[in-house]
Amino acid sequence: MVSLWDGGSTWQPVPSRLRRFSIDWRCPINKISNWVGSLINLEELVLYVNKIWQEDFELLGHMPALSSLTIYSNTALQGRIIISGFHSTKFFKFYCNPARLTFDAGSLLKLECLDVIMNVFNTKSSNGSFDFGIQYLTNLRNVYIQLDCNGSTGGELEAAKASIKSSVNKLPGQPKLNLSTLNENIKDQYQKCHL
């Protein structure tokens, strides 16, 4: 395992035989460098990034051997992040709140384990519903979703849970679903009526 602490934009010569690469939480990088995309044998990647961009996912999505991707980020771009590519990826973990993820049809075809944080309000607002493309991830075996309740109502949270459960139950492999919540300090009429 090689760890890079400075987040530099170049590394010469590029370690083309590298199979695992990790950037530690103690020194997150500001941007994913383009040279990371040239690591054609990279199978496992763990990144701590200050801010994640759509082009970062486009770069990583074209890595041919990448089977495990873990990204922790403090912030994401304002709009939706559309996940496409990642044709060899079996494990995908993305912790960035309040990112708005959408999985594109044909992406992550081999994905077996999905582990994400999703903000209920932002996901619903960006899509008009709580559809984020999980129905395209037909090879899933395990799904871990933490729902951040910040900015949402109890009714929105329940609708999000129901939508996710329904979508996961329709997947061919009947994956195991683990739903949990963050920031569940929601005070609205829905909760008062159902206590």
Q: How confident is the model at residue 136, as a pLDDT?
A: 95
Domains in the chain: boundaries? 39-192
Task: State the distance between the two ends of the chain, measured CA to CA, in whole angstroms.
Answer: 50
Q: How confident is the model at residue 125, as a pLDDT?
A: 58
Q: How confident is the model at residue 45, as a pLDDT?
A: 96
The segments of the chain whose pLDDT lies below 50 read 1-7, 187, 189-190, 192-195
Whole-angstrom Cα distance, residue 66 to residue 52?
18
Q: How confident is the model at residue 6, as a pLDDT?
A: 43
pTM flag (> 0.75): yes
Each residue of 120-167: pLDDT tens digit? 877 775 556 788 899 999 999 999 999 988 888 888 899 899 999 999
SS (H, E, C) the chain: CEECCCCCCCCCCCCCCCCEEECCCCCCECCCCHHHHHCCCCCEEEEEEEEECHHHHHHHHCCCCCCEEEEEEEEECCCCEEECCCCCCCEEEEECCCCCEEECCCCCCCCCEEEEEEEHHHHHHHHCCCCCCHHHCCCCCEEEEEEECCCCCHHHHHHHHHHHHHHHHCCCCCCEEEEEEECCCCCCHHHHHCC
